[in-house]
Amino acid sequence: MPIEACSKKDSKYDEWEIKDALRTITRADEIKADPKMMKLIAAELTRQQEALAAAQKGIDGLVNMPDKEYKEHLKKIKAI
């Protein structure tokens, strides 16, 4: 069944994008209603945030490293 309100000249979204968005919103509501799933998601979010923080710390260390020390670091990496 075509989506009448979304003609090509009236919207930048096609029928597939609208139906896919609807499925996404519906699935999000199902996930939010599942306490066990939300607990698992929260744990995964924490792991990802910690990994990002560690990566940022490493990047900050490289950015703030003196040139000589940075060149030595690059030599070590190439040797691996």
- Specify the higher pLDDT residue, 2 or 71: 71
Query: Given pLDDT bands bounded at 50, 70 and 90, which one contains residue 26?
Result: very high
DSSP string, the chain: ---TT--TTT-S--HHHHHHHHHHHHHHHHHHT-HHHHHHHHHHHHHHHHHHHHHHHHHHHHHTS-HHHHHHHHHHHHH-
Rg for the chain (alpha carbons), in Å? 24
In a domain? residue 77: yes
pLDDT in tens, 3-19: 665 555 667 999 999 99
In a domain? residue 9: no
Query: How many separate domains does the chain show?
Result: 1
In a domain? residue 23: no
